[in-house]
Amino acid sequence: MQMGQPVPETGPAILLDGYSGPAYSDTYSSAGDSVYTYFSAVAGQDGEVDAEELQRCLTQSGINGTYSPFSLETCRIMIAMLDRDHTGKMGFNAFKELWAALNAWKENFMTVDQDGSGTVEHHELRQAIGLMGYRLSPQTLTTIVKRYSKNGRIFFDDYVACCVKLRALTDFFRKRDHLQQGSANFIYDDFLQGTMAI
List the domain boundaries for the chain.
34-179
Dist CA 189 CA 162 (whole Å): 23
Range 158-186 average pLDDT: 90
Q: Which fold has domain 34-179?
A: Recoverin; domain 1 (1.10.238)
pLDDT at 5: 31
Dist CA 109 CA 66 (whole Å): 14
pLDDT at 65: 78
Q: What is the pLDDT of residues 49-100, one digit of tens each?
A: 999 999 988 888 888 777 788 899 999 999 988 888 888 899 999 999 998 8
pLDDT at 58: 87
Q: What is the pLDDT of residues 12-30, one digit of tens each?
A: 333 333 333 333 334 444 5
pLDDT at 32: 57
Range 141-167 average pLDDT: 92
pTM for this model (two decimals): 0.74
pLDDT at 48: 93
pLDDT of 118 higher than 60: yes
